[in-house]
Amino acid sequence: MATESVATQSPFQAFSELDLRDEMHNLLMQTTALVLNTYGGSGEGFRGMNEDAQDSYMFLVFNMVKRVESVWKELEWRRPSSEAKS
């Protein structure tokens, strides 16, 4: 029986570069809004949440930052090597 190798594909494969840039911009704006809630107004809104809600909130922020990182890596991967900075 032949074995097939499973190639890892980027979740952004179907995105154009413009779509990726829009996605990164949107994620950064959303993450900024979430982070502002943790310290804006002395962080009262965030600190008023129960511990589980705070943990979930920070987990969401972390996941959004990781998604921005993934989009950035996809953009860098697509960049021609002649444009790559050393």
Of the candidates 86, 84, 66, 62, the one whose C-alpha atom is nearest the C-alpha of residue 75 is: 84
- More reliable by pLDDT, 41 or 61: 61
pLDDT at residue 6 tops 60: no
For residue 13, the model assigns a pLDDT of: 82
What's the whole-number average pLDDT of the chain?
85
Q: How far apart are CA 21 and CA 71, in angstroms?
A: 8
As a whole-number percent, the residues of the chain with pLDDT over 70 amount to 85
pTM listed for this prediction: 0.73
**How far apart (Å, rounded) are the C-alpha atoms in residues 76 and 68?**
12
